[in-house]
């Protein structure tokens, strides 16, 4: 009886883990040519079970080929056509989704995600999910006009170009038109770029382009019109003789009063002398006072010497001979 119970418990645990480790995906995906798409393959991680191996394979008319394999040795891309274009998240437990970048038409086919888990008792559990991928081409989108230089106003003789840019499956054909009076248009070029080596005023006008590819009903997509203008630059008036283009206000000292510029040399010296005493800085005033004191001392010494000589003459008068 005990043996039977153990078997039942093991079977129930095995069934429960199988339910937890079930893979989730989608049946079909439509991918856009030259864009990216993700093929989902996810599961709920279960304690006691470790992902051992992950394999993505592709089935086409000629058979099945392994694209991607992850095991203990690392990640391996086994088909050269998918090299540098496929990847699987590395640090997201339970996520084994395949990212395919830059889709190509031959990428269409049936993709199978196979995951192998190992349990604590070294038993292996394998699950698979298959997704059908169909890569489709996209019709040309409404084109956008890009100018070679910012703005659409040019001087005569300038080089310029307009480029018509549209998204969609190649090859994309382009046509350039110029609007003319009467609601008509003049075909100018069948290239993506419309260029001028030397613009003339007669090139002024409205321009637009069309884009078309071979997808679906081959609907022609037309851009918005742009206005291109060719005109002379405004003339800058030259300054008249004797005048300067740039003027500046008279220099004002930091004290607020404008500096005096004397026109007469002697008067300038007198003004400088007066200013040195009356309006000069403290250093100049001190020098002037010192000079005045020196003059007084010199006159006092001369006066004293003269006085002594007069006294001596009075005491010792000189006798004049007849």
Report DSSP letters for 151-199, one per residue.
SSEE-TT--EEEEEE--SSSP-EEEEEEEETTTEEEEEESSSEEEESS-
As given in the structure block, the two tokens for residue 235 are 């003339």
pLDDT value of residue 155: 95
Secondary structure of residue 255 in the 3-state scheme: coil
How many CB atoms are located within 10 Å of the residue 7 CB? Answer: 10
Average pLDDT over residues 30-55: 93
Cα separation, 125 vs 119, whole angstroms:
8
Average pLDDT over residues 200-206: 95
- Residue 266 clears pLDDT 90, i.e. is over it: no
Tens digits of residue pLDDT in 210-237: 999 988 777 899 999 999 999 987 655 5
Start-to-end CA span in the chain (Å) = 184
Do domains 18-136 and 144-230 share one topology? The answer is yes
- Residue 283 clears pLDDT 60, i.e. is over it: no
- Residue 101 clears pLDDT 90, i.e. is over it: yes
Q: How far, in Å, are 89, 130, 194 from residue 41 at the CA level?
A: 11, 9, 48
Share of the chain above pLDDT 70, in %: 72
pLDDT value of residue 39: 98
Report the half-sphere exposure of 77 (CA within 13 A, side-chain side).
Answer: 13
H helix intervals, the chain: 2-20, 265-274, 282-315
Q: What are phi and psi of 248, to 5 degrees?
A: -140, 150
Cα separation, 109 vs 59, whole angstroms:
6
More confident residue, 33 or 273: 33
pLDDT value of residue 182: 83
pLDDT value of residue 14: 46
More confident residue, 295 or 170: 170
- What does the mean pLDDT of the chain come to? 80
pLDDT value of residue 183: 82
Cα separation, 18 vs 21, whole angstroms:
5
Average pLDDT over residues 15-43: 84
As given in the structure block, the two tokens for residue 156 are 């005569």
Tens digits of residue pLDDT in 129-177: 999 999 998 899 999 999 988 889 999 999 999 999 998 887 899 999 9
Cα separation, 160 vs 205, whole angstroms:
14
CATH architecture of the domain formed by 144-230 = Sandwich (2.60)
- Residue 34 clears pLDDT 90, i.e. is over it: no
pLDDT value of residue 251: 36
- Residue 293 clears pLDDT 60, i.e. is over it: yes
- Residue 200 clears pLDDT 70, i.e. is over it: yes
Cα separation, 259 vs 135, whole angstroms:
86
Query: In degrees, to the nearest 5, what angle opens at C-alpha 230 toward C-alphas 228 and 232?
Result: 150
- Residue 297 clears pLDDT 80, i.e. is over it: no
Domain boundaries, the chain: 18-136, 144-230
Topology of 18-136 in CATH?
Answer: Immunoglobulin-like (2.60.40)
- Residue 265 clears pLDDT 60, i.e. is over it: no
pLDDT value of residue 286: 58
Q: How far, in Å, are 102, 154, 229, 276 from residue 205 at the CA level?
A: 40, 12, 7, 76
């Amino acid at each position: 009886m005990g043996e039977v119970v153990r078997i039942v418990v093991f079977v129930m645990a095995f069934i429960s883990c199988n339910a937890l480790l079930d893979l989730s995906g989608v049946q079909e995906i439509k991918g856009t040519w030259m864009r990216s798409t993700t093929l989902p393959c996810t599961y709920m991680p279960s304690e006691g079970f470790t992902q051992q191996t992950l394999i993505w394979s592709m089935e086409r008319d000629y058979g099945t080929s392994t694209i991607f394999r992850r095991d203990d040795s690392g990640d391996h891309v086994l088909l050269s056509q998918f090299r540098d274009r496929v990847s699987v998240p590395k640090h997201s437990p339970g996520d084994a989704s395949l990212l395919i970048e830059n889709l190509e038409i031959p990428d269409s086919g049936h993709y199978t995600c196979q995951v192998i888990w190992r349990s604590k008792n070294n038993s292996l559990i394998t699950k698979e999910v298959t997704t059908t991928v169909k890569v489709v081409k996209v019709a040309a989108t409404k084109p956008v006009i890009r100018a070679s230089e910012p703005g659409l106003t040019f001087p005569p003789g300038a080089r310029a170009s307009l480029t018509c840019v549209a998204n969609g499956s190649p090859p994309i054909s382009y046509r350039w038109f110029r609007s003319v009076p009467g609601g008509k248009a003049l075909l100018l070029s069948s290239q993506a770029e419309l260029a001028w080596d030397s613009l003339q005023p007669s090139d002024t006008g409205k321009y637009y382009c069309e884009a078309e590819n071979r997808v679906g009903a081959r609907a022609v997509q037309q851009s918005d019109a742009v206005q291109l203008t060719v005109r002379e630059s405004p003339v800058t008036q030259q300054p008249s003789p004797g005048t300067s283009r740039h003027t500046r206000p008279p220099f004002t000292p930091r004290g607020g009063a404008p500096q005096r510029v004397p026109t007469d040399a002697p008067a300038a010296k007198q003004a400088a002398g007066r200013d040195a005493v009356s309006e000069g800085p403290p250093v100049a005033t001190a020098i002037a006072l010192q000079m005045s004191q020196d003059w007084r001392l010199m006159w006092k010494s001369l006066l004293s010497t003269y006085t002594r000589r007069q006294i001596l003459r009075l005491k010792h008068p000189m006798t004049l001979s007849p």
